[in-house]
Chain A
Amino acid sequence: MTPAHSAIKPTQWIAFRELLWNLTWRDIRVRYRQTMLGIAWAVLSPLSMMVIFTFVFGGTQVSTEGIPYALYAYCGLAPWAFFANSLNGAANSIVAHRSLVTKVYFPREVFPLSCVAGALVDFCISLMLLFGLMAYFARFGGHAPRIGSALLMLPVVIVVQILLTVGLGLLVSMANLFYRDVRSILALALQLGLFVSAVVVPLPSRGSTAYALLSWNPMVSLMQSYRDCLLHGRWPEFGGLTYAAAVGVVVVGVSAWLFRRASPRFAECV
Chain B
Amino acid sequence: MMSEPAILCRRISKRFRLGRNSWAIRGLMKRLGFHRHDPGPATHDSAKIWALRNVCLKVSPGESVGVIGPNGAGKSTLLRLFARVLKPDAGELRVRGRVTALIEVGAGFHPELTGRENVFLSGSILGMRRAEIRSKLDAIVDFAGIGRFLDVPVKRYSSGMHARLGFSIAAHVDPEILLVDEVLSVGDAAFRLRCMERMRELLSGGTTLVLVTHHLDQMTGVCKRAIVLDGGRVAFDGAANEAAGHYMRAVSQAHAIRATDVVEGEDQRAIVGDVQLRLQNDRRDEAPWFRAGEAIRAEVSFCLRERVDSLLIELNVRAASQELVLSFNTGRANRSLALESGRHQVLLTIPEVPLCSGQYFWNVRMWDGDRGATLVDTPMCFPMVMDDEGKGTGRLALRHEWARITGESGEKQKSAPIETTLAPVTLPREKELVG
Contacts and interface: CB of A to CB of B under 8 A. Distances in A.
Do chains A and B stick together as partners? Answer: yes
A267 B14 CA distance: 13
A19 B108 CA distance: 11
Contacts of B83: 103-105
B120 A22 contact: yes
Nearest to A97: B108
B4 interface: yes
Interface in A223-270: 264-265, 267-269
B21 A178 contact: yes
Q: Quick one: which of A15, A18, A105 has the most chain B CB within 10 A? A: A105
A195 to B, nearest CB: 28
B96 A34 contact: no
Contact of A267 (B23, B85, B108, B110): B85
Nearest to B125: A104
B125 A3 contact: no
Contacts of B127: 15, 106
B124 interface: yes
Contacts of B110: 26, 30
Contacts of A5: 84, 87
Given A29-B117, A33-B112, A264-B87, A100 B94 contact: no
Nearest to A29: B113
Contacts of B101: 103-105
Interface string A88-111: 000000000101111111100000
B113 A100 contact: no
Given A104-B101, A105-B84, A178-B21, A1 B16 contact: no
B96 A1 contact: yes
A14 interface: yes
Contacts of B126: 104
A60 interface: no
Nearest to B7: A4
B80 interface: yes
Nearest to A101: B85
Interface in B122-165: 124-127, 129-130
A2 interface: yes
Contact of B84 (A4, A100, A269): A4
B94 A23 contact: no
A178 B23 contact: yes
Contacts of B229: none
B99 interface: yes
A3 B103 contact: no
Contacts of B94: 1-4
Contacts of A14: 129
Contacts of A26: 110, 113, 117, 121
B124 A104 contact: no
B266 interface: no
B323 to A, nearest CB: 31
A106 B125 contact: yes
B104 interface: yes
Of the listed residues B84, B95, B96, B124, the one surrounded by the most CB atoms of chain A closer than 10 A to its CB is B124
A14 B17 CA distance: 36
Contacts of A106: 125, 127
B107 interface: yes
B42 interface: no
Contacts of B93: 3-4
Interface string B62-86: 0000000000000000001101111
B85 A18 contact: no
A102 B86 CA distance: 8
Instruction: Please name the 10 residue pairs, one residue from A and one from B, whose CB atoms are nearest each other, closest first.
Output: A264-B87, A105-B84, A103-B103, A103-B104, A22-B124, A19-B124, A267-B85, A4-B93, A30-B112, A4-B95
19 contacts: A2-B94, A4-B93, A4-B94, A5-B84, A5-B87, A15-B124, A15-B127, A18-B124, A22-B120, A100-B107, A101-B85, A103-B85, A103-B103, A104-B85, A104-B107, A104-B125, A178-B21, A264-B86, A265-B87
Interface of A: 1-5, 14-15, 18-19, 22-23, 26, 29-30, 33-34, 97, 99-106, 178-179, 264-265, 267-269
Given A105-B84, A267-B86, 17 more contacts: A1-B96, A4-B84, A15-B127, A22-B120, A26-B110, A29-B117, A30-B113, A100-B125, A101-B85, A103-B80, A103-B107, A104-B108, A105-B101, A179-B24, A264-B87, A267-B80, A268-B86
